[in-house]
Structures are given as C-alpha cells and as structure tokens.
Structure 1
Amino acid sequence: MTDRSARWLLTWAAVLTGVFLFLGVAVSAGWQALLDVDANLSDPIAGLVAHHAHVITGLHWAELLTGTVAAELTALVGAVLLGWKGHPRAGVYFALVNALTIVSVHLLKAVFDRDRPAWQVVDHILHNGSYPSGHAAWATSIAGSLGVLVSMLVRKAPVRRVLYSALVLSVVAISADRLLLGRHFLTDVIGGAALGGVWVLLVLALYSPVPRSHARRLEPLLATTPSGKRDLHVVMNPIKVEDLDAFRSVVVQMAADAGWSEPVWHYTTVEDSGTGQAHEASVAGADLVLVCGGDGTVREVCAELAGTGIPVGIVPAGTGNLLGRNLSLPLYFRSAIDVALHGQDKAIDMVTLSGDGVEDTSFLVMAGMGFDAAIMEGVNEDIKKKVGWIAYVLSALKALMFPAMKLEISVDGGEFTTHRARTVVIGNVGFLQGGMPLIPDAAIDDGQLDVVLLYPRKFLSWLPLAVRILTKQKRVDASLTRFTGTRVVVRSSADVPRQIDGDIIPSGRELRCETVHGRLLVRVPR
C-alpha cells in the first residue's frame, strides 16, 4: 500500500467520502426508501438475539471492550510501540489516522444527529447520534492502518494473508456486534467504516510511514571512494525476495539517487551461496557490496570480503537475521538499502572456526553445540518458509530436553575445565531473535569471544533460566556459566549437533574458535 501514488490514494479517499456523505445526507433528509431498507434489514438482525440473555451479555462486553476508551488506548499504545521498535514515522501515521477518526466521529454524530434504532436490546439505551457508527469507524481505521503497516513491515506473504484476514474479521465482528445489539442501522455501520477508510487513505497520501532516508536527515559523510568512481555490486539470494523485479527497481532507483553506478548483480546458487559472487565483485573493483539474504549468505559474502577494505551493506532477508539485528540494521528493505548506501562504515570482528569433520571457516554471529544446534537441525523448512521464526519455536519445544553433554573448555590456551551443559554457545554478538540477551556483555567489535553454557536440570528449570537471561543477570552457577577470551576450544565426550550462524554443520566433538579483531567493514546506521 505504501507504494501507491498519492493520486490513487486521494481518488479512493474521495470515493469513500462520497459514500459517507451520500448515506449521511440521505438518512438525515429522511429519504424514505433508504429508511425502509434500513429498518427491514437492521431490525430482524437485532431480533436474532433479543431473547438470548447470555448472548446479549457477551455482545455488551464486546461493546465495552471496543469502545472509545479502547480505541484511544490502542492509538496511543500502538504509536508508542512502533516508535520504540524503531518505526517513529509509522507510529505517527498510526496515531494520526486513529486520532482523526475518533475526533471526526464525535463531531459528525452531532452534525447528522440521527436517532438510534428503537429496537436496542440491552437495558442501557444509547441516545447520542447514531450516524456514523463510532465502533465501525475506529475498527476500520485501526485495522486499515495496521494493514498498511503489515504490507510495509511483514515480508512473508502467508503471514501477511493471515494478518489481513484477522484484521478484516475483527472489523466484521465489531460491526456485527453493533447490529445485533440494535445500536445502529446498517447504514450507520457502512458510513462508519467508510469514514475510517477515508482517514486511512487520506493520511497515507499526505504523510508516508516509510522511514526517512539518512541522506535527508543527516549531513553527508566524507567520501571514501575516488571522485567519480562509485561502483556498486549486489550479491543476493533470489529465493529470499518475493518480488525480485520490484526489489531490483528499488535498488537501482535508490542507488542512482545516491550517486552510485548502475548496480552489478550477482545471484547465489545452491552450489555457491555467496563466496564466488563476492569474489567476482571484489575482483571487479567494487567500492561497495550490498548483500541481500539470510545469515548464511551474509556470512559467506562477509568472509570473502574480510580484509579487502570493501564495505559490506547488509539487507537482512532471512528468518533470523541475527547479524543485522545486532548491528541495529532495519529489517524494512528500503531502510536497509538506505543504510547500505548512506550509512557509516564500522569495523567488526570475525571469528575463525575449525573442528573435527569441519573445513576451516569463519562466522560473525555465534557457533553452538547441543540444544541450540538441535533446534536448527529440527526446523521444518516448509513451515519456516510459511511462518518464519515460529518454525524455530516449534523445533525448540521438541528439543527442549536435549540430553546433557559432558564438556571440556579451554580459554586463551589455559587448562581445560570440565562442565555439563545442554547447550554451549560461542558468541561474537549478544542478542538472539526477539532481542533475547543471551550474552548481554558481548560486543561485535571488542576483540573478545563470549561463551555461555546452559544446564537446566529439569524441564521446568528452563523458566527461571529464561528469566535470568531476559533480565540480564550476571550471576553464574551450575545452570548458567560464562567465559570470555580471544581463543576458545570446546570438546564434547560424544558427537553432538553443531551450528554456525544458524546453519547446521556436521555433528562432532570439537570446536576451536579465535576472534580476528576489526577484520570486516560493514555499513551501519549513523
């Protein structure tokens, strides 16, 4: 919806305004044909529940829970949450749409001053204006503005469809409540919905919820490439983007606006998930490589470009996007591209990794043995494609009591110490999906590795352990142990699942990791 032109939005806003005014003027002027239709349709609907006290009680509670106060709180809380999650313009849009709807409903009820139906079926009879229905208006404005934000922020089409359906059903349910209680005529509900839709479209035409570009908000940075030479290469995993042509056109347009060359495109394949494509970009003399994909693709590209001095702009397009989240990169495509083109360069650490049955490689986020790797191993890829991170939750529930491992750990060449754990994580960053602070002191540019061992002894032991992690408690004991160093060796007494940056590697008994300080340049927000 955010890519619609202002003309398109204003046209449909005008159409809905016409519907609203036509119905309002017609019922106020006493157009008998419309009044008869209203009565013949609305009265029988209220009669369906007139003699069912329990149903009426439930409908009345629904009326109270979706009233004016609820709408005002939703507008306020929704705007605050959107701002807190890094979408201030979306928060302003949401607040404006719903505030204007609430205010206009109260003003227009007085203007049209239509009497309520005579067949209200609850004891507490309402006497204020019937046209338009306030509940229908703000149900539509809340659902409509949320729908706009869903189209902007939710990438997976199946998830968007589920959310759209839920929003539409909520409007239908609230509107039905008004008719079943006899609070409104059908035209009141239609007019209210039209009014809410007007504000959704009108505000969107005049104020975009899309984040503003760095280039418009901040002073330009000093140029780091030779005058006249700004070669942009893009490495992308094509299966991670629903509309490839639309994505390409956005990148081309934004790059041109920022003074970059026509992008050179490199697509990953099943056989080569980013290494070869990044090498081609490097050899061709790229001044910036933009990578669009999941954590695996990002890792391959970054590993190839480490030490070259070529900055990497990351457009997170996977399910976890752990590196992007830990670098505070936006998940909205346009904003991430904007950061890549206009952000500042930051030197971050990489971690070399080796072990039994594993070719020497590197990672940026974290490696793990045990429970966390079992989660990755057990993810159903079909479910993951449809619902994203929920697939990890389902896999975690199945693997929750992964058997304890007997481990030996050496930090910075010290003596091995013996431990028991259900999972061990070697982290270059501190936060998991959803902002869970597994390693709160970890920093991606401090030259240090942070190791965490988790050992909940019983099923219910996960609960207090989760509380300690979420509240960032630093206390260590047998259930939670932490180490810090530049070199870490972890050995298990038996073969166990292993993962790096969320990708499964062959099961084995050992991981050897060492941090390489400031090895890679990435673009981050200013």
Structure 2
Amino acid sequence: MSNAHTAGVRSGRLLLLLPLQAASVAGLGLLVTGPLADRWPLSVEDGVNRALADRREALATALSEGMSLLASTRSIVTLTLVAVLALLLLPGVPRLRRWRDAAFLAGSVAAQSAVFLLVTMVVGRARPDVSHLDAAPPTSSFPSGHVGAATALFGGLAVLAARRLRGAERALVVGLLLLIPPAVAASRLYRGMHHPSDVVVGLLNGGCTLLVMAYVLLLSTPGTRTSAGLPTPRSNPDDAQAATPVPEQVSADAPAGPRRAVVVRHPHGCGDGTAARVRALLRHHGYTDQAWTSTSAEEPAGALAARTAEADTSLVVVCGGDGTVRACADVLSGGAIPLAIVPCGTGNLLARNLRLPSDPDTALREALAGATVGIDLGRIHGDGLAPTRFTVMAGAGFDAAMVRDASARLKQRLGWAAYVLSALRHLGDPRMRLTIRLDGGAPLERRARMVVLGNVGSLQGGLPLLPDARPDSGRLEVVLLDPRGVAGWLAAGRHLLTRSATRTSGPRLSAGRDRRAAGGALEYFSAERIDLRFARPQPRELDGDAFAAGTRLTAEVEPGALRVWLPNPGEGDPVGATGTVGATGTVKAADTAGATDAAGEPDGYGCTARFGEPHGVQRAGRPPARTRRPDGVR
C-alpha cells in the first residue's frame, strides 16, 4: 500500500471524531439541563436574558435582526452554495486544490448541521423565558444552530482566506470573517432565542467541526508527509512546477568549476522531498560540492562551523525556521560567506521580512538568481544567557511565555496559529516592572506586559509590530506593550491593524526618544544599544526560541554583519549596493564611504530598494546608496 494511500486512509478515519463530537456535545447538554442547571454560572443565565430583553432599542433590534437573518438556514445554504461555486471556478488555482477547498467548506457546514440535529434529538432544552423577537424553530435551544452554522461557514472562509491571502489584506479579511460568529451569538441572546451556554456551545461545535475537517482535507492530504512522518511541501498533480524537481544538469549561466555549498537542514522542518529539490537546485547553479549537516538540540546550527572550516565555501544554505537561521547567523556573523534561506519553519519571520517567497523551492531559486545584501544582526546576552545573536526579534514577558508554552505538536500541524492558542493562556499574566536604558542614557522606569527588540518589524500576516524596523538601519527598534484591560487590548490591536492596512507610522525616532501610541498601550524606542533590567525573572525568547527566565538583557546592533542572498528587487531596481556578485559567486566590495541622506541620517547599507523606507517616512534628494561592510568581508 502506498504512503499516499495510507495517509488518505488515516486522515479519513479522523471523520470518526464527528460522532464522538456529537456524543460529547449531547452529554454536555444533558449536564447543562440536569445536575448543573442550578449551579453557577448556569444559575444566572436567565438573568442575562432578562437584562437584555429589558434594554432593547430600535437600532440594536434592527442590527440583531440582520445578523440573525445572515445565519438563518436559508442564508447559510445559499451563501455556502455561492462560496463553493466561486471556489471551484477560481482562476489560477490548481484543480485539486479548488476541489479540496470547496469540499472543506461544504463539508464543514454539513457536518456541523448534522451534529447539531443529532444533539437536539437528545437534548430538549426550552427557549429562555422572555419575549422572543423571532419565531421559535422546532429544534431545541441547545446548542444554537445559528451560531454553529455561522462558525462553520464564516470560520471556514476565514481559514481559506488565511491560506490564500497575504499581508494586510489577509489580516483585514480574516478579522472581519471571524467577527461574524460572535456577532450572531450576541444577536441570538439579544432576541431572546438562546441561553448564553447555548451560543457558547454553538461556537465550540462549529469550531471543533472546522478543526476536524481542516485536518482531514487541508492538512493531512496525500503527499504532505513522508514515511517517517516528517512534513514536506504539498505537491499537486496539477502544479507541475511544484511537483517536478529541478533538472539535474548544471545551468549554462553557472561559472565553470565546482563550488562548495554547506547545507544546514532542520530534520523536522525540511522533509526528504524538499531536501532533494534543494540538492538539485544547488547543482543546477553550479554547487556540485555539497556538504549537508542536520541540526539537533545540542547543535542548532549542526556542524556548520566544522564544515565551513574544512574547505573554501562559497555558500551556506539554511533549510529551517527562524531558530535555525539564527544559530547559523551566529556562526557566520562578520564573515564573507553568504547565506541563502529556505523557509521551512513555523513562522519564517526573517524570510517574510526580507520579502522572500514563502514556498521553499521558489525562495531558493529566486534568491540564487539575485545578489548578496548585508543585513544587521542583534547581539544579545544576559544572566544565564551566553552572548549570541538574533536576526528577527528578542523579547521578554508575554511573547516569550507564548513561545515557551506553544505546543510543538500543534506548531507542526497548525504552523504559527499554534502561537495564538498559547497566547490566549497568557492574556491575564501580571505586568512586569522593568528599567530600560538606551545608548547609555538615563534609565527609564516602566511597567509592561512584554518588551520586544526588533531587527525587523513585521509579524505573520504583515502585522507591523515595529513599523520603523529595517534590517539595514544600523539600529534596533523597541516596543513596550502595556494594555490596561479589554479596552487597552482593543486599542493596541486596532492601532496595529490600522498600521498594517495603511502602512504608515509616526516620524522615525532618533536614539533615546520614545513615541506612545494606542492611548499608551504601545511605546516605541530606537537605539543602537539597549539594556533591560527586570524586577523579577521573566521568560525570554530569541527568534521564536524560548530561553531560561532571567532579570537582564543587553542587546546591541551589529551593522551589516550577515550577507544574505536575496531576489532582485525588480527590473530596473538596483541589485543592492552592498556589493556585486562576481563571476565566481564571490562578493566584490562596494564603496565603503558612509553616505547620508538629505536628513543627515545614515543611508543604511543599500537595501532601500528591497525593503523600502520605514513606513510613513518620505525622504527627498537621496544620494546613491552606499554601504559599510562587516569585518572580514574582502
């Protein structure tokens, strides 16, 4: 039996979870209507319904009617049919993927409805004892069918949007779709049609159905796992480019003579299929001498240092996530060997911020057709943390706790969404007291839920946590997050989403200055050196890897310390003024004079054409970009 067939059978068996889900929801309903009915919080549910009924207003009634109609049986069936038809007719999408996405959406709505109907046959709960604004359906009040159907349909559309869209568009569309089920839940409570527990279980029923159907149809499709159970890139029969390895012949444009490449492979992130295609791509570009090394907990960069010391090396390729890239950057910092990134991790934030394609094969192919660019690194140390480097972000507090407690199993299955689940556990964590010192200046006393130092600024979905951060700026950006209550969290979220949609920010900060936003929930700083002291030990993280809790962190920027292969920014754009690529693949030094822009600020290292200006910054009269070189570049 083939691996693909076996994977299909195993994923199909997960559908057996749906009867178990129905039994669990029914059992919960019997508890709610039986022995738990007089216990808190169920004992106060009637009071919630009466309070809402006593405060009805014309506008709220009209809005609630619209949301209830949106989730009615007729609307759900109609919208599902329209969405499925649209998915099947989408241009530019492989046929197998179109059918799979359509089956996921239709199956989720149908499965939720089936579970709902089975439960209502077992649990007979009366509607709330208040005036009803809608005609009562014949089904039980438990669980809410409107809410479950809305969760399955609009939540399913949000899942598909998250897989297809990028950047601010994805954040906006997914956010709006995910707001609909809670809005429907509120409308059903307002209209007196359900108890609070009915709508909560309706949300859970729809959400659980989505998880099962997503795993069966979107995550565990044939071809996504090797026989060893390691994830590999999905390949569709309709997508010849993704399914067909690069030819083994050497490119006619590759320089004569063998070149040596050292490849660092994360064994769980880079599956056998990806590794084979990387090997072929490198050979195609003339890297016929390849030394491969795998990472481990003890050696996060593998044997990179030893492999590069064995012989002259023209290239290091990192097949892994941000943690693997960070470990390799620590080894290569200040040297002349360039690095190419094959994004195979959970977040791949450095690759996203460097605007590399998300597909591993495409990222390597386009990077090797581009040029090398010098980017900054952050060097950091603290109590219990030996000096090391980071490429993306370092942090303490809320974000570090989220990283520390994210399930490795969920990260492998759900990707960066696993961090969201972990974050929910820490929303109520206490604030921390800290002292921050910028470039040796006076200490600043603060309280915050988290502090993040960034070499780059965007999170998943293009969310600009540090809107002024650039990987070639010669300094680090800092943000303190300190929301007060629900209103503070909402203000911070609205601020970040607005910046993501508009790509604007305030004036770029000079060292030591700060800027507050979102009513004080966010505070930004910029400096070349940052010293942090915490009143109590705090969890800490570097580039998505958790480190031991501590009370100190000191970070400073290393300008242009790492050379990275990046795709050309576009036809007619400069290739990148950090240097040019010679015929043998070595880096020729660019002019090392320090240039300044019209504002008298350093002009970075020639990456402006690739990374653009900091959001909202307009500069006039730019001189030609010049560059500094890290020590060791010749």
TM range (shorter): 0.5 to 0.7
The amino acid that maps onto 1:367 is: A
Whether 2:423 is the aligned partner of 1:409: answer no
Partner of 2:376: 349
Alpha-carbon distance, 1:385 to partner: 2.6
Q: Deviations over 1:354-382 (max 9, x none)?
A: 11221111111111111111111221223
Alpha-carbon distance, 1:276 to partner: 3.2
Q: 2:78 aligns with which of 64, 88, 110?
A: 64
| Distance in 1 between residues matched to 2:556 and 2:414, nearest whole Å | 35
Q: Cα gap change, 1:283/1:415 in structure 2, threshold over 3 Å: closer, same or farther? A: farther
Whether 2:553 is the aligned partner of 1:511: answer yes
| Distance in 2 between residues matched to 1:505 and 1:356, nearest whole Å | 11
Partner of 1:305: 332
Q: Cα gap change, 1:335/1:281 in structure 2, threshold over 3 Å: closer, same or farther? A: same
Q: 1:383 aligns with which of 410, 433, 443?
A: 410
Alpha-carbon distance, 1:397 to partner: 0.3
The amino acid that maps onto 1:308 is: G
Alpha-carbon distance, 1:342 to partner: 2.3
Partner of 2:562: 520
Partner of 1:400: 427
Q: Deviations over 1:254-298 (max 9, x none)?
A: 222222214221112221110632442244221011111121111
Conserved? CA contact 1:214–1:339, under 8 Å: no
| Distance in 1 between residues matched to 2:487 and 2:425, nearest whole Å | 15
Conserved? CA contact 2:246–2:281, under 8 Å: no
1:312-327 pair list within 5 angstroms: 312-327=339-354
| Distance in 2 between residues matched to 1:450 and 1:486, nearest whole Å | 9
Partner of 1:476: 516
Alpha-carbon distance, 1:412 to partner: 1.1
| Distance in 1 between residues matched to 2:451 and 2:215, nearest whole Å | 40
TM-score normalised to structure 1 length: 0.61
Whether 2:387 is the aligned partner of 1:336: answer no
TM-score normalised to structure 2 length: 0.51
Q: Cα gap change, 1:419/1:66 in structure 2, threshold over 3 Å: closer, same or farther? A: closer
| Distance in 2 between residues matched to 1:403 and 1:71, nearest whole Å | 45
Q: Deviations over 1:457-497 (max 9, x none)?
A: 11442111111112225461532111111111111111111
Say which SS state the counterpart of residue 496 (structure 2) adopts.
Answer: helix
* Of 230-239 and 361-370, the range deviating more from structure 2: 230-239
Conserved? CA contact 1:275–1:304, under 8 Å: no
Q: Cα gap change, 1:214/1:451 in structure 2, threshold over 3 Å: closer, same or farther? A: farther
The amino acid that maps onto 1:391 is: A
Q: Cα gap change, 1:214/1:443 in structure 2, threshold over 3 Å: closer, same or farther? A: farther
Q: Deviations over 1:369-421 (max 9, x none)?
A: 11111111221223223322232111100001221111111111111111111
- Detail structure 1 runs of 4+ shifted over 4 Å in the superposition: 57-63, 69-76, 92-98, 159-162, 207-215
Partner of 1:420: 447
Conserved? CA contact 1:295–1:502, under 8 Å: yes
Say which SS state the counterpart of residue 263 (structure 1) adopts.
Answer: strand
1:78-477 pair list within 5 angstroms: 91=92, 93=94, 162-163=213-214, 165-166=216-217, 208=240, 210=242, 227-241=256-270, 243-244=271-272, 246-274=273-301, 276-472=303-499, 474=506, 476-477=516-517
Q: 2:538 aligns with which of 463, 473, 496?
A: 496
Flag the structure with larger Rg. 1
Conserved? CA contact 2:87–2:98, under 8 Å: no
Structure 1: gaps spanning 5 or more residues: 5-56, 80-90, 99-142, 151-158, 169-200
Q: Cα gap change, 1:371/1:313 in structure 2, threshold over 3 Å: closer, same or farther? A: same
Conserved? CA contact 1:312–1:340, under 8 Å: no
Q: Cα gap change, 1:451/1:260 in structure 2, threshold over 3 Å: closer, same or farther? A: same
Q: Cα gap change, 1:233/1:482 in structure 2, threshold over 3 Å: closer, same or farther? A: same
Say which SS state the counterpart of residue 471 (structure 2) adopts.
Answer: coil
| Distance in 2 between residues matched to 1:441 and 1:348, nearest whole Å | 15
The amino acid that maps onto 1:510 is: R
| Distance in 1 between residues matched to 2:391 and 2:75, nearest whole Å | 52
| Distance in 1 between residues matched to 2:493 and 2:79, nearest whole Å | 33
Q: Cα gap change, 1:502/1:454 in structure 2, threshold over 3 Å: closer, same or farther? A: same
| Distance in 2 between residues matched to 1:351 and 1:375, nearest whole Å | 21
Conserved? CA contact 1:349–1:445, under 8 Å: yes
The amino acid that maps onto 2:498 is: T
Q: Cα gap change, 1:252/1:514 in structure 2, threshold over 3 Å: closer, same or farther? A: same
Q: Cα gap change, 1:165/1:499 in structure 2, threshold over 3 Å: closer, same or farther? A: closer
Q: Cα gap change, 1:60/1:75 in structure 2, threshold over 3 Å: closer, same or farther? A: same
The amino acid that maps onto 1:234 is: V
| Distance in 1 between residues matched to 2:73 and 2:547, nearest whole Å | 55
The amino acid that maps onto 2:79 is: L
| Distance in 1 between residues matched to 2:469 and 2:524, nearest whole Å | 11
Conserved? CA contact 1:370–1:405, under 8 Å: yes
Q: Cα gap change, 1:93/1:501 in structure 2, threshold over 3 Å: closer, same or farther? A: same
| Distance in 2 between residues matched to 1:373 and 1:426, nearest whole Å | 12
Say which SS state the counterpart of residue 550 (structure 2) adopts.
Answer: strand
The amino acid that maps onto 1:512 is: T
The amino acid that maps onto 1:304 is: V
| Distance in 2 between residues matched to 1:436 and 1:505, nearest whole Å | 24
Conserved? CA contact 1:400–1:459, under 8 Å: no
| Distance in 1 between residues matched to 2:246 and 2:526, nearest whole Å | 36
| Distance in 2 between residues matched to 1:72 and 1:382, nearest whole Å | 34
Q: Cα gap change, 1:220/1:436 in structure 2, threshold over 3 Å: closer, same or farther? A: farther
Q: Cα gap change, 1:162/1:436 in structure 2, threshold over 3 Å: closer, same or farther? A: same
The one of the two structures with greater contact order (alpha-carbon pairs below 8 A, sep at least 6) is: 1
Say which SS state the counterpart of residue 346 (structure 2) adopts.
Answer: coil
Structure 2: gaps spanning 5 or more residues: 5-70, 100-156, 165-209, 220-234, 500-504, 507-514, 569-634
Q: CA RMSD in A?
A: 3.7
The amino acid that maps onto 1:235 is: V
